[in-house]
Structure formats: structure tokens, C-alpha cells
Amino acid sequence: MNEAIRPGPESPPQGQQMGSRSPELSVVVPTFNERDNVTVLYRRLEATLAGIAWEVVFVDDNSPDGTWDVVRALARRDSRVRCIRRIGRRGLSGACIEGILASSAPYAAVIDADLQHDETQLPRMLSLLMSGQAELVVGSRYIEGYKSEGFNNQRAGASALATEVAKQVLRVEIADPMSGFFMIRRDRFEELAPKLSVHGFKILLDVVASAHGTLRAVEVPYTFGARQHGESKLDSMVALDFIGLVLAKLTNDIVSLRFILFAMVGGIGLVVHLSTLFLALELFNVPFAEAQAAGALVAMTSNFILNNFLTYRDQRLKGFAIVRGLIAFYIVCSVGLLANVGVAFSVYDQEPIWWLAGLAGALMGVVWNYAMSGLFVWRK
Ligand code: GDD
Ligand code: MN
């Protein structure tokens, strides 16, 4: 009973300037292995946001380098600093969503921890929101005034292509929907939050596409700087993730991003299967039955690896769990194949149209594999 009325920490934290004023702006910083960057970022925020009631929410996915520990130390000295340490979860979009929803400030910004974004734009972004000129302000690398130091050619090309696809396919109007640097009115964000995917990397694209043109957006150019410490976490999986997000938004989120990624991996598996079959038959003269079995085994294995790296990257199996998961995946897919063939036969029985029967079987297989993988392989 006593606990309920026990007062909080006795002395107010040191180094706090805005004391009791509730924050106007919440700066959300997703972090993964950014130990050497967070203190620098905090100091820069402190300098650039002087005069504004702000707070910073670091959302750390239990970084092995102990980023959360450094953030905690900052938080002990300054109560404007908060740390959400997530255990057993990974993901940039999910971290940003969680950080924004954890604050009560009317305006929320998202900025990378690695100092590649230009935090000195924040006051200007905030005034654009406060004056009602915009509901979303995007730090943009593609409009006039933009300069980039942290982009290599290959990445710049991929980014430009993705931006073009997003504009054409999802009718997203802004110049840089791939930006990880933006500020938004929290009430508008909260309306959109139930539609957002926690699995991807492209939170801003998701926000803009989900709003269907109802968000008044303004862009401010900034210099995308070079990373100071540590390394980028975005790998080649980002491309597949992007395609998945575009497809999910096209179906109006009836089909989840995770299912689309799973199905895309299944499609790749088909190519792997056929290639293995071809090689076994043509190059090694393996009898058809064995070659077909080898194709299935290679495809299942590569599907498992891809799903572990992409579809379920937020709950990736590691160490011995990989062996257990792989065996469970083989079993799930084998039963899925029976379901596939069973459905195809019964459809063909009703309506002898080969492609319809094949399609129905394949759909049954992928839905089964997806549902059962979630239950028995990447269970949580
Ligand atoms: N909590 C959490 N969980 N944070 C993460 C995760 C994760 O799984 N992955 C990355 N982050 C954090 C990083 O610590 C960093 O602060 C920020 O998210 C961006 O990650 P980087 O790894 O530095 O990404 P980048 O520089 O390659 O990509 C940036 O530019 C892209 C556009 O080209 C980001 O701003 C992207 O959002 C942006 O799309
Ligand atoms: Mn970066």
C-alpha cells in the first residue's frame, strides 16, 4: 500500500532548463549501435533547441554496444532525455512509431542518431508546423539547396529509382519520401498510426502513402552528411522491403507487408527450385525424382534463410534456434506442398483449367506456409 503514495525522486534532476513546462517538441531518435554518437547528438540538440520546450526520446533495440547505457547516463543528468530500451524486437519503423506514441508533445520529429541529418533545421521545421503552414515537414535531399556528402553513387541511384517508383505507383507527391528526417503533428500521426507497418525501414513513405494525400506537407532542404561513427544498418534487404511496402500500400493494407515479403521469398524460391532442377538434370544427369527432391530441398533452405533475414528480421533466429527453425520450416513446407497439390487437384476436378487449379494450389500453399511458419518457426 505504501508504494502508491511514496513520493518520486527527491531532488529534481540537474541541468534541466525547462523544468515543469511540458514539452512542445519531442525528438525521436531510433538507435542501434550508436554509442559514440548519442552524446554528440544530445549536445547539438541542446544547442540548437535553446528556447524551445523539447524532449528527446531514444528508442534503442537493446544495442549490443550498450547505447542504451549511454542514453541512461544522459537521462540521469537531464530529465528531457528519455530512453526506451526494447528487448527482443528490431526494426527502424517500429522504433520510430513507438517513440512518437510514447510522447505527449504536440509535435514530434524523427532524426537519425548518426549525425547524418542536420538538426539545425529543427527550429525552422517546428515553426512551419506551429504556424499551421504544414502538418508534416520533411527534411529533403532532393530539392534545390540539397547537398549530399554521405551518399555513394550506387546508393544515390537506388534511392532515386525508389523515389520515382513511390511517386508513380503510390502517387506520393513529396520529393524525398525515403527521408528518415521529418517532423509531424502528433494528432495527425496518431490517426495514421494503426495503418503503419512496424516491419519496414520506410516510415515516412508509409505515413505519406497511408494519408492518401490528406497531409499538408512542406519540404526543407538539408545536407545529408557523412556518418561519423559506427556503420549503416540498411543492407541489400532494404530493396525488397521497399517493394513489399509499395505492394502492401497498393492493397490498402488488406495484405500485410510481412505476408507480401513471405510471398516474394516464395517466388524467389520457385526460381531457385527450377534452376537447381535444371542444373541437376542437365549438368549432373541426376534422375528426375532425385533432381526434383534436391530442387525442393535447396529452395526450402534458401527460403528459410531469406525469410530469416528479411521477412522475420525483427525476430531473426540465431545460434541453435536456426537448426530447430530450419527443421520446423521443412516440415511446415512439406505439409504445405501436400495442401497445395490437394487443392489444385480438387479445383481441377471441378473445373479443368490448368492455370486456375495451379494458382489455387500455389495460393493455398503460400497461405498455409505463412500461417504455420508464424506459429511454429518464427513463433512469438
Ligand atoms: N531502434 C532501432 N532499431 N534503430 C535502428 C534500427 C533498428 O533496427 N536500424 C537502424 N536504426 C537507427 C540507426 O541507429 C540510425 O540512428 C538510424 O536508425 C538510421 O540508420 P542507418 O543505418 O544510419 O541508416 P542509413 O543512414 O543507411 O539510412 C538513412 O537514410 C535513408 C535514406 O537513404 C535513414 O535515415 C533511413 O531512414 C533513410 O531511409
Ligand atoms: Mn545513417
- Pick the atom of ligand 1 nearest to 33's CA: 14
Query: C-alpha grid cell for residue 237?
Result: 534487404
| Rg for the chain, CA atoms, rounded | 24
Q: Report whether residue 336 contacts ligand 1, using a CB cutoff of 6 Å.
A: no
Q: Report whether residue 234 contacts ligand 1, using a CB cutoff of 6 Å.
A: yes
Q: Is 81 helix (H, G, I), strand (E, B) or coil?
A: strand
The CB-side HSE value for 132 (13 A sphere, CA atoms) comes to: 0
Helices (H) and strands (E) in the chain, counts: 13, 9
Report the distance separating Cα 245 and Cα 314, nearest Å: 16
Closest Cα to atom 34 of ligand 1? 180
Enter the ipTM: 0.96
Distance of CA 12 to the CA centre of its chain: 37
Q: What separation in Å is there between the alpha carbon of 360 and the centre of ligand 2? A: 43
Closest Cα to atom 35 of ligand 1? 180
Residue type, 368: W
State the first-to-last Cα distance of the chain, in angstroms, to the nearest integer.
35
Q: Is 228 helix (H, G, I), strand (E, B) or coil?
A: coil
* 31 neighbors 233 (Cβ within 8 angstroms): no
* 123 neighbors 222 (Cβ within 8 angstroms): no
* 97 neighbors 206 (Cβ within 8 angstroms): no
Q: Report whether residue 59 contacts ligand 1, using a CB cutoff of 6 Å.
A: yes
Model confidence, pTM: 0.79
Give per-residue pLDDT as tens, 168-192: 888 888 888 989 999 999 999 999 9
Report the distance separating Cα 145 and Cα 126, nearest Å: 19
**SS percent in the chain: helix, strand, coil, step 5:** 55, 10, 35
Query: C-alpha grid cell for residue 98?
Result: 513507438
Q: What separation in Å is there between the alpha carbon of 81 and the centre of ligand 2? A: 21
Residue pLDDT tens, the chain, 380 long: 344 444 444 444 444 444 557 999 999 999 999 999 999 999 999 999 999 999 999 999 999 999 999 999 999 999 999 999 999 888 899 999 999 999 989 999 999 999 999 999 999 999 999 999 999 999 998 655 555 666 677 777 778 888 888 888 888 888 889 899 999 999 999 999 999 988 888 899 999 999 998 999 999 998 888 887 888 877 667 777 888 888 888 888 888 889 999 999 999 999 999 999 999 999 999 999 899 899 999 999 999 999 999 999 888 999 999 999 999 999 999 999 998 888 888 888 888 888 888 888 888 999 999 999 999 999 87
Query: C-alpha grid cell for residue 129?
Result: 508546423
- Pick the atom of ligand 1 nearest to 232's CA: 22
